[in-house]
Chains A and B, each alone.
Chain A
Amino acid sequence: KQEVTQIPAALSVPEGENLVLNCSFTDSAIYNLQWFRQDPGKGLTSLLLIQSSQREQTSGRLNASLDKSSGRSTLYIAASQPGDSATYLCAAVRPGTYKYIFGTGTRLKVLA
C-alpha cells in the first residue's frame, strides 16, 4: 500500500534562501508525482507533475525531481519570497489509475 510522507511538517526561512521540500513514498513502483500549493482557505494549485519516466520538471523558480529508486521527490524553490508562503503538498498517482495518494504537507513561511 502506497504511503506518502512529507518532512518537515513546517519550515520557516528568511527571504532569498534556496530551499528544498521533501516527499517520500513507500512503493517505488511506477508512479507519477504531482506537487501542489495551498494558500490558507483556498483550493490546491497544481505546480508541477513529474511522470514516472521523467527525473525532473522545472517551472520558473521551481524544480521538482523524482528518484524512484530511493522513493523520494524533492521540490526546490530558488530565491524564496514571502509570496511563496503556503502549504506544499505532494501526491502520487499510478498511471492508468484514478486514486491520488496525498502527503500531509509542509507549511512554509518565508520571512521578509
Chain B
Amino acid sequence: SQTIHQWPATLVQPVGSPLSLECTVEGTSNPNLYWYRQAAGRGLQLLFYSVGIGQISSEVPQNLSASRPQDRQFILSSKKLLLSDSGFYLCAWGQTGFEQYFGPGTRLTVT
C-alpha cells in the first residue's frame, strides 16, 4: 500500500529564516506530487505540482520554491520566510486525473 510522509510535523521559525519541508511517498512510482497551503479558516491553495523528476509547475508567485530531486521526494523551500507564510502545509500525491492522497501536514508558524 502507498504511504506519504511529511516532516517536520510542526515548525516555528523567525521571519527571514530559511525553510525546508520534505515529503516522501512509498509504494508507488512516478506519482504526481503536490504542495498545498491551508491558512487558518481558508481553503486549500495549490502552491506547486510536479509530474516528474525536475519538473515543477508553480501556481502562486511567492517567495517559496519546490524541487523534486527523486521520483518520490518533493521539497518545499524558502530562502527568507515572511509572516504571511504561516499556515498548514500539505503534500499530496496522485495519478493523473484520479484520486489524490494527502500527507499528515506540517504546521508552520513564522514569528
| Interchain Cβ contacts within 8 Å, total number | 59
Alpha-carbon separation in the docked complex, A49 to B99 (Å): 6
Alpha-carbon separation in the docked complex, A32 to B59 (Å): 21
The answer on a CB contact under 8 Å between A93 and B103 is: no
Give the segment of B13-21, B43-51, B76-84 that binds chain A: B43-51
Number of A residues, CB within 8 Å of B: 24
Whether A58 sits at the interface, judged by CB under 8 Å, is no
A97 CB, nearest partner CB in chain B, Å: 6
A6 to chain B: closest residue by CB: B43
Q: Write the B76-111 contact mask toward A (1 if CB under 8 angstroms, else 0).
A: 000000000000101010101111111111010000
B107 to chain A: closest residue by CB: A41
A binding-site residues for B, Cβ under 8 Å: 32, 34, 36, 41-46, 49, 89, 91, 93-100, 102-105
Give 14 A-B pairs besides A43-B90, A46-B99 with Cβ atoms closer than 8 angstroms.
A41-B107, A42-B105, A43-B6, A44-B90, A46-B100, A89-B44, A96-B96, A97-B97, A98-B49, A98-B57, A100-B46, A102-B43, A103-B43, A104-B43
